[in-house]
Amino acid sequence: QVQLVESGGGLVQAGGSLRLSCAASGRTFSLAAMGWFRQAPGKEREFVAAIRWSGGGTYYADSVKGRFTTSRDNARNSVFLQMNNLKPEDTAVYYCAASFKYSADTDYYTSIRPYGYWGQGTQVTASS
């Protein structure tokens, strides 16, 4: 079992930046990947980015490529989401998630299915 705690959300003007953090505790030694998802009011939760815990391979939704970067610090059991050039359509509650399921498939970690543990979410608002 693993516990996830996010931080770093807030309100910024369009074009601004925010950095989200997600600290994991518990059975982190067997993690396969960490993901970031977001959910806007009235919409389904959608994939944003993911990073393999070992090897560090990263994956991004087309809507955030070139603007968002995810990274990890294995020693601190933490993952980060650097968000630059934020747009009003990025406004949502952002969640980090943990997966213990291993797959070589490059699309595997871009869906909700592999993730069994979720943080509480943090609000990100980009005002126009």
Give me the pLDDT at residue 60, please: 98
Burial label, 97 (beta-carbon count in 10 A; 0-12, 13-18, 19+): buried
Assigned token pair, 46 = 């959608």
Give me the pLDDT at residue 115, please: 97
In SS3 terms, 77-101 reads as CEEEEEECCCCHHHCEEEEEEEECC
What is the Cα–Cα distance from 48 to 30, expressed in whole angstroms? 23
pLDDT surpasses 90 at 97: yes
DSSP category for residue 57: -
Share of the chain above pLDDT 90, in %: 91
Which of 106, 102, 126, 103 lies closest to 38 in space, CA to CA? 126
pLDDT in tens, 67-86: 999 999 989 999 999 999 99
What is the Cα–Cα distance from 44 to 125, expressed in whole angstroms? 17
pLDDT category at 106 given cuts 50, 70, 90 is confident
pLDDT in tens, 36-69: 999 999 999 999 999 999 888 999 999 999 999 9
Sign of the four-CA dihedral 61, 22, 38, 108: positive
pLDDT surpasses 90 at 29: no
CA-based Rg of the chain, rounded to a whole angstrom? 14
Paired sense of beta strands 10-13 and 122-127, if any: parallel
